[in-house]
Amino acid sequence: MKEMQKQQRSDMKEIEEFLTAAENYANEGIKRWRVRRETANLEGAWSNLRAADIALLELANEDYRQGRKGEILAKAARHLEVNDPRLVEIREVAKEDGALNGRTLASILDAAYEAEYEELANIRSWRRSLWWTTLLMLIGVAVFVFWMWFHPGALTLCFRPTQDFVACPSREVTLKNPDRYPQGLTSGWESAQDAVAVVIAGLAGASLTVVGSLLKIPGTSTPHDLSIAVSALKFPTGAVTAILGILLIHGGFVPGLTNLDNRAQILAWAAAFGCAQQLVTHIIDARAQKAIFQAGRAGVPAEDSPLRVSGR
């Protein structure tokens, strides 16, 4: 009896240590403003809370265990794979209306927590990749705009629909002596604002698709929301597709479209190409929707739930 009481006191002390560690992580997270550090503190708090929950389940009496059985089985059904041996045991117990001992329940809860953590870790890794990609693309767009600001003639974004008229993204020029310039010449009238105008038009076009994609992506209870990361990626992608689109038109790669008549048309096409980035990012949209939907649903489908007993 003394040994049992001593073991119980040791277990209770361990649970208190888990709860204290969770409280420390939570308090530290409140003081920090950095997102990355805040996420680490949140995960540390949850990890210790889950460890305390599992330890308490092993230590608690039978009434407490059986009272939580339905919750634990449902959690296992959401997160464990269909062929997991523990789910096989759960099915058998559910069909027979049997009782699960504390150690088995704790093992199932531990496995469900671990599977849930892996799901969130995958989402967190993908979200980090999306943010890094967005950052690198934004840097690339900024470097391009910076270079074009000081070297506007390095890459012309202007069009010359008629012999005496030149249309650029930031201005229009009517030539007083057009015969002095060779037919089709578009360089020489570039402005430092041309690249900026095309990029802004591309960002405006991308913003329209961002609104549309946010309406399609469902909300999530996970702490790592992918929808914001996917939406952020659309903006630099829209700027890049706008620049490339205008260059493709200028180079004659678009059949039947070799010249744009005025500044408004150039910006309109840049915005359209900014919207067209959806052709590239729609795959990421689909994967994000699937990942968000399956978070917490990666285990047994609802119709095959281990809590579902035939004939009930």
Query: Using one digit for the tens of pLDDT, what is the confidence trace for 95-150?
Result: 655 556 667 777 778 878 887 777 777 777 888 888 999 999 999 999 999 999 98
How far is residue 233's CA from residue 237's CA, in Å, rounded to a whole number? 6
Which of 26-30, 205-209, 226-230 is most confident?
205-209
Give, in order, the Cα–Cα distances in Å from 95 to each of 90, 299, 310.
9, 19, 8
Give, in order, the Cα–Cα distances in Å from 126 to each of 123, 131, 284, 291.
5, 9, 10, 10
Res. 35: pLDDT tops 60: no
Averaged pLDDT for residues 208-233:
71
Q: Which residues contact 256 (CB under 8 A, 6 or more apart)?
A: none
pLDDT (0 to 100) of residue 309: 35
pLDDT (0 to 100) of residue 306: 34
**Packing angle of the helix pair 194-216, 263-275 (nearest 10 deg):** 40
Tell me the average pLDDT of the chain.
76
